[in-house]
Amino acid sequence: MNTNDPAQVPGQQSAAPAQVPGKQSAKQPGQAAEATSPHVSTPPASAASAATSVSPVFSVRELWKVFGPRADRIPGSPEAHLPAAELRERTGCTAAVRGVSFDVHQGEVFVVMGLSGSGKSTLVRCLTRLIEPTSGSIGMDGEDVLAMDRTRLRDLRRHRAAMVFQHFGLLPHRSVLDNIAYGLEIQGVRKAQRRARAAEMVAKVGLSGMEHRRPGQLSGGQQQRVGLARALAVDPEVLLFDEPFSALDPLIRRDMQEEVVRLHRDEGRTMVFITHDLSEALRLGSRIALMRDGEIVQLGTPEDIVGAPADDYVRDFVRDVPREQVLTVRRAMRQARDGEAGQGPALAPGATVAEAIEAVARSGGPARVMDAGRCLGVVDHACLLDVVAGLDRAPQPSPDERTDADGSAGRRAGARESAKEDGGADGRANEAPDECADKPAPGGQQPGSDEAVTA
């Protein structure tokens, strides 16, 4: 059985994989585990339907990682949930990851966020067994990661899940091009082929013209681009980022975040992204797993986390987030009254409250929330203010909401990006054709039509 075939397409399995223990069906293993956790928000309708159509890239159940003597006695023991200091005092052990369960869906940016020491790095390293878990199960595309032998594991790390580290790990005496080609070199890809692929990646991450420089001749941001290009060169099914931008200065960091958003939008590649920076998590995440003391205290979309914090810890965490930048009009809207469905600027359901405030201010009246030509509701001054003040109601997903290519709430980032594309740099766009568009406003024009944001 050749389980290390360099010609193998990344993400495809060359051998009959061992199945994840306890896996119920190919359709959606562990959906119940996510849905029954008190801290895990129910995904929006589109995410849920996407989740049922494809199996998760990673499926993690009851995962524990305990460091220290006789670590395997801790999971399931009465000590398992002791506070960290008490556990250490009584047993000499540290429970870095405690009974964590989640799925990473295809095409999403799954952010693992938490304060220093909350267990983020340990958790993500367990996914490819860079750290051996103490107990639990990990599936990748339905294959049992914990049952993989060394060859299969090497294949997983080289071909299927590439890691981008904070410290770029570049080879100082090699050129940019050769650094990018390195991952292909250890896969045994021929020189001409790997250099051609590396040259493609140089362009993709915006380093054209710098191919022959050494890492020492690059800025921190440029070095991180090389790290990113090296991971991309092997065309992995999933990219794992371990706080990749935390050493970069804020402007370069922003630049790199945009790079990730762009890559995700263009390629729809699955990404798992560790950060301790809330604004980075909100900006990049399709969903965010917020960790505390080794546990996931809440797992949900940025809108879930900011709009419906699971407990006081999360509430405190998100207290200073500008709500209007994260929450969407879906949360703010009310039912249309007396002809309101037929006029006013049109907003996509994924438009932010901030975008809606601008549209309503410009038009002087309510804006419509439109989806596939249907008016889902309207937003006016009062309901937008309620959301900003935190007096809003729960979100109101439409029953037949369309599903985007990437399924889950990656739609948010996509919504913002496509708003920009449709309407130019300021994010405005022309009004989408809809069932109300044939009802002319006074003066023959749709009021505020040029303020509308579509996504």
Ligand X SMILES: Nc1ncnc2c1ncn2[C@@H]1O[C@H](COP(=O)(O)OP(=O)(O)OP(=O)(O)O)[C@@H](O)[C@H]1O
List CB contacts of 254: < 8 A, sequence separation 6 or more: none
Element (H, E) at 241: strand 238-242
Interaction of residue 117 with ligand X, rule CB under 6 A:
yes
Piece of 45-53, 115-123, 258-266, 363-371 that binds ligand X (CB under 6 A): 115-123
Q: Which of residues 29-48 bind ligand X (CB under 6 A)?
A: none
Interaction of residue 121 with ligand X, rule CB under 6 A:
yes
Piece of 116-124, 254-262, 328-336, 430-438 that binds ligand X (CB under 6 A): 116-124
Interaction of residue 298 with ligand X, rule CB under 6 A:
no
Question: Within 10 A of 357 (CB to CB), how many other CB atoms are there?
Answer: 20
The nearer residue to ligand X, 136 or 395, going by C-beta atoms, is 136
CA 177 from chain centre, in angstroms, equals 29
- Among 30, 56, 119, 423, the residue binding ligand X under the rule CB under 6 A is 119
Question: What is the smallest separation between the CB atom of 70 and ligand X, expressed in angstroms?
Answer: 14
CB 170 within 8 Å of CB 226: yes
The nearer residue to ligand X, 257 or 446, going by C-beta atoms, is 257
**Residue-wise over 212-242: b if at least 16 C-beta within 10 A, else e?**
ebebeebeebbbbbbbbbbbbbbbbbbbbbb
The nearer residue to ligand X, 119 or 344, going by C-beta atoms, is 119
Q: If binding means CB under 6 A, how many residues of this protein chain bind ligand X?
A: 12
The nearer residue to ligand X, 277 or 324, going by C-beta atoms, is 277
Q: Specify the DSSP class assigned to residue 157.
A: I
**How many residues make up the chain in this entry?**
455
Interaction of residue 67 with ligand X, rule CB under 6 A:
yes
Interaction of residue 128 with ligand X, rule CB under 6 A:
no
CB 236 within 8 Å of CB 256: no
The nearer residue to ligand X, 120 or 330, going by C-beta atoms, is 120
Interaction of residue 276 with ligand X, rule CB under 6 A:
yes
The nearer residue to ligand X, 88 or 334, going by C-beta atoms, is 88
Interaction of residue 101 with ligand X, rule CB under 6 A:
no
Piece of 11-19, 110-118, 225-233, 262-270 that binds ligand X (CB under 6 A): 110-118
Question: What is the smallest separation between the CB atom of 12 and ligand X, expressed in angstroms?
Answer: 31
Interaction of residue 10 with ligand X, rule CB under 6 A:
no
Question: What is the smallest separation between the CB atom of 293 and ligand X, expressed in angstroms?
Answer: 9
Q: Specify the DSSP class assigned to residue 432.
A: P
Q: Which of residues 232-251 bind ligand X (CB under 6 A)?
A: none
The nearer residue to ligand X, 282 or 432, going by C-beta atoms, is 282
Interaction of residue 25 with ligand X, rule CB under 6 A:
no
Interaction of residue 165 with ligand X, rule CB under 6 A:
no
Strand partners, 328: 352
Question: Which pair of structure tokens corresponds to residue 124?
Answer: 């993500």
**Which amino acid makes up residue 301?**
T
The nearer residue to ligand X, 25 or 116, going by C-beta atoms, is 116
Any idea of the CA torsion for 97, 307, 50, 34, to the nearest 10 degrees? Answer: 30
Question: Within 10 A of 312 (CB to CB), how many other CB atoms are there?
Answer: 8
The nearer residue to ligand X, 289 or 387, going by C-beta atoms, is 289
Residue 417 exposed, middle or buried by CB count within 10 Å (0-12, 13-18, 19+)? middle
The nearer residue to ligand X, 117 or 220, going by C-beta atoms, is 117
Interaction of residue 116 with ligand X, rule CB under 6 A:
yes
Interaction of residue 197 with ligand X, rule CB under 6 A:
no
Interaction of residue 122 with ligand X, rule CB under 6 A:
yes
Interaction of residue 114 with ligand X, rule CB under 6 A:
yes
Question: Which pair of structure tokens corresponds to residue 291?
Answer: 């960790």
- Among 51, 63, 96, 201, the residue binding ligand X under the rule CB under 6 A is 96
CB 37 within 8 Å of CB 63: no
Task: Tell me if residue 326 falls in helix, strand or coil.
Answer: helix
Q: How many helices (H) and strands (E) does the chain have?
A: 17, 13
Q: Are strands 367-371 and 374-379 parallel, antiparallel or unpaired?
A: antiparallel
- Among 8, 46, 118, 363, the residue binding ligand X under the rule CB under 6 A is 118
The nearer residue to ligand X, 117 or 365, going by C-beta atoms, is 117
List CB contacts of 66: < 8 A, sequence separation 6 or more: 72, 74, 75, 93, 94, 95, 96, 134
Interaction of residue 55 with ligand X, rule CB under 6 A:
no
- Spatial separation of the C-alpha atoms in residues 56 and 169, rounded to whole Å: 29
Question: What is the smallest separation between the CB atom of 398 and ligand X, expressed in angstroms?
Answer: 37
Interaction of residue 290 with ligand X, rule CB under 6 A:
no
Residue 86 exposed, middle or buried by CB count within 10 Å (0-12, 13-18, 19+)? exposed
Interaction of residue 94 with ligand X, rule CB under 6 A:
yes
The dihedral built from the CA positions of residue 397, 403, 407 and 412, taken in this order, carries a sign that is negative
Residues forming the site for ligand X (CB under 6 A): 67, 94, 96, 114, 116-122, 276
